[in-house]
Structure 1
């Protein structure tokens, strides 16, 4: 049902915010590249220099958001705080896997910490996201991702993205219990985050690219620690075929978009701390 390629988010049903509208003021840095000590954009959140270490080695496993310099900023186009906005930098290929349908792999070496691609699609309102999820059949693939950012004041900011009909290469990424990518919310022009995927490790040419649909926090083995699917979970969770040694046997499942449990459905559910 994929019908339109878009490298960036577009406004979908139930959402009033235009993801491409510039609403953030720009920094007044006159240097070629901004520094955290003086740049108003860098003071908002994480910076790219410490992103990889913090996101992979923190106790929570969560990545803090990033605010890139935008079109209103006075710094140069070569600023180190302009990464995701430059788009794809590596050659990627969509291919057909043995058990997981379509997948995405790299045709060249990707060093750890480098930006790989976005997970772009229609930005939906909560009710529309629920409606689309609830009309899916057990045989349908689900591409909707629910991103929840836990703010310092206790509030939760939610973003729902669906690349089913309009999206980019990110929609072909499969889940892995030992992923080689991790997702970070990156804001450039507005509060609607770009869902940016970075290399969690060095990735060799021809390797499949994957990330953890649960945001590295919720897809845990059962009480016995052996990845066994509990009896009450059978028929609800889809089997995982990632092949990792630590595979928990099923894909992450988030029931928040369902009034009642639906059989064999899966919602990507990533959480982040701001």
Structure 2
């Protein structure tokens, strides 16, 4: 592989440099940020510290004594792999809260994973109808953190405005993450890395992905959108996730109104090549609705 050693897409802001396989002459122009930044309409500043820390003085926190772990349980095992809820391979619905800058535990605490940044060598490449993509240069075990999807955190009105102003040929980087918190309530986070973002913006969609996204909170109530390996990933494999937020094509039935509204949207074709490919890229019609 031809690595452009003189050009780090991350501008030295990550633990590891990320190079472009075949040159950077046509790489999209954007400002690199390893973390979220506050954008128009954001309810919360993602850089604001909003969580109290634990008083643990041990090297790594224990669930019987750590205030962070007592609330939500252990999220990672001894190998720093994300735990599932009940031993189910695709069930990663447990809230993830890592120890933060206010905690007294050491940087080696195993409840500090996503905040450590990139841990695997990644490379940007271009080829085929999908355009730019991201692959790994080394083996990644199942459950390990790979990278964040970071960008501008914006409000619903701004997300709708940006989608409505897009032309048919424009790339859509905006993602809407919905978290159900009980009592019929839901938290929505809108992230757009089109202008300010990180290496996650180069990830392509797949209907049978090898990554899945989990909202992880560290210092702020605004979640980091963390991507973990859903299976063992071999060196050289393209890294992909399902833009709809699902994993292994576990689908939910759309309502009649959503199906009708979707007929009015010009869907973009999906080129993932999976056996279960739906033929179109996912699109959250609720962002476009005025309600």
TM-score range (shorter-chain normalised) is 0.7 to 0.9
Q: Mark the runs of 5 or more structure 2 residues left unpaired by the alignment.
A: 1-27
Q: Mark the runs of 5 or more structure 1 residues left unpaired by the alignment.
A: 224-228, 261-274
**Residue in 1 aligned with 2:57?**
30
**Residue in 2 aligned with 1:142?**
172
CA distance in 2, matches of 1:154, 1:188: 25
CA distance in 1, matches of 2:87, 2:41: 34
Quick one: which of 214, 221, 231 aligns to 1:191? 221
**Residue in 2 aligned with 1:53?**
84
Distance 1:198 1:23, change over 3 A: same
- Is the CA contact (8 Å cut-off) linking 1:44 and 1:66 kept in structure 2? no
TM-score, normalized by length of structure 1? 0.85
- Is the CA contact (8 Å cut-off) linking 1:52 and 1:200 kept in structure 2? no
Larger CA deviation: 159-168 vs 19-28: 19-28
CA shift for structure 1 position 161:
0.3
Matched, 1:18 2:45: yes
**Residue in 2 aligned with 1:238?**
268
Distance 1:45 1:2, change over 3 A: farther
Matched, 1:3 2:30: yes
Quick one: which of 82, 94, 97 aligns to 2:112? 82
- Is the CA contact (8 Å cut-off) linking 1:12 and 1:124 kept in structure 2? yes
CA distance in 1, matches of 2:253, 2:272: 17
CA distance in 1, matches of 2:207, 2:218: 30
CA shift for structure 1 position 199:
0.6
Quick one: which of 116, 131, 136 aligns to 1:101? 131
Report how many aligned residue pairs link the two structures. 253
Distance 1:152 1:43, change over 3 A: farther
CA distance in 1, matches of 2:137, 2:174: 27
Q: Secondary structure at the match of 2:161?
A: helix
TM-score, normalized by length of structure 2? 0.80
- Is the CA contact (8 Å cut-off) linking 2:123 and 2:135 kept in structure 1? yes
